[in-house]
Structure 1
């Protein structure tokens, strides 16, 4: 039997936009799928993310070799039909142009921020939350806006991130099957 190359699907969104939730749910729905999560890797990237965004957010400044190595291993393994990447750069990194389908979950920034605070600050005091919000307003929001100008337009499919998870997954599955 001939070994068929798995279809690589990348899910992108701003922080709090639903990448991990959608990737996890999609892996439950798609038979013979494996997932790779960008945040699970200790990748070398820019020291100052805000400065990186200001300079143009060139994704090639990230050393993605550990992720790429795992991706190659999955591509060459048998019986995998789909590889789902929780990955913020679509096809913008020169070493990851081989993605078959890039999806941007376009979550309104207020929803993404609320989700991120609920996720990351659950056990913190109000001062930590206020400090993060202050940082977001003074510096961090530009990173979110950068993704809307770079990753979003370079994606194959853009889905409203305020939709229920199951609806987003159904839209993705329809796209895969078409």
Structure 2
């Protein structure tokens, strides 16, 4: 009998869109699963993210070797699911073959920005927050829009990011069950 590999589910969203939260909740809901989080890694990638986006934002410019190594190792474990908090869906050439199902959490940019500010600037001064907002207005928003133009259409499932967390998780699990059958 051939060993069955875990189903690899990639969860993508803009920064503040809910990737990490949904990945964690999905891991809790799906039995016999494990999760890997993009932000837990220190990847070699573009030095200037905005310049990278201005030049097309090619995901292959990121060296994801540590993540790929972990995916390969985990795929050998007796798991049903491996959930990735991963911003690129199928767009990174060296990871796309590992992903069975890509989900995009489609969170409105104003909500994502508010969440990011609340998350990243809890103890920051007003001046620092205002400077970050200016950067977002001048250049950062383009990065969010880039994901909507690239990652979102390259996903198997797009879920409304304004839904309650448990509803988002339920939508994903129902769609995974359909795909698995």
> Which runs of structure 2 are paired with 1:1-178 in the superposition (5 Å)?
2-77=2-77, 79-98=78-97, 99-178=99-178
Whole-Å separation in 1 of the counterparts to 2:63 and 2:137: 28
Secondary structure at 2:153's aligned position in 1? coil
Whole-Å separation in 2 of the counterparts to 1:72 and 1:115: 33
Q: CA RMSD in A?
A: 0.8
Residues 74-116 of structure 1: CA deviation (Å, up to 9, x unaligned): 0012x21100000000010110112100000000000000000
Whole-Å separation in 2 of the counterparts to 1:96 and 1:67: 9
| Alpha-carbon distance, 1:2 to partner | 4.3
TM-score normalised over the length of structure 2: 0.96
Secondary structure at 1:85's aligned position in 2? strand
TM-score normalised over the length of structure 1: 0.98
Whole-Å separation in 2 of the counterparts to 1:16 and 1:94: 25
Secondary structure at 2:10's aligned position in 1? strand
Secondary structure at 2:11's aligned position in 1? strand
Instruction: Kindly report structure 1 stretches of 4+ aligned residues shifted beyond 3 Å.
Output: none
Stretches of structure 2 lacking an aligned partner (at least 5 in a row): none
| Alpha-carbon distance, 1:121 to partner | 0.5
Whole-Å separation in 2 of the counterparts to 1:157 and 1:46: 28
Whole-Å separation in 1 of the counterparts to 2:137 and 2:119: 19
Stretches of structure 1 lacking an aligned partner (at least 5 in a row): none
| Alpha-carbon distance, 1:120 to partner | 0.4
Whole-Å separation in 2 of the counterparts to 1:141 and 1:97: 26
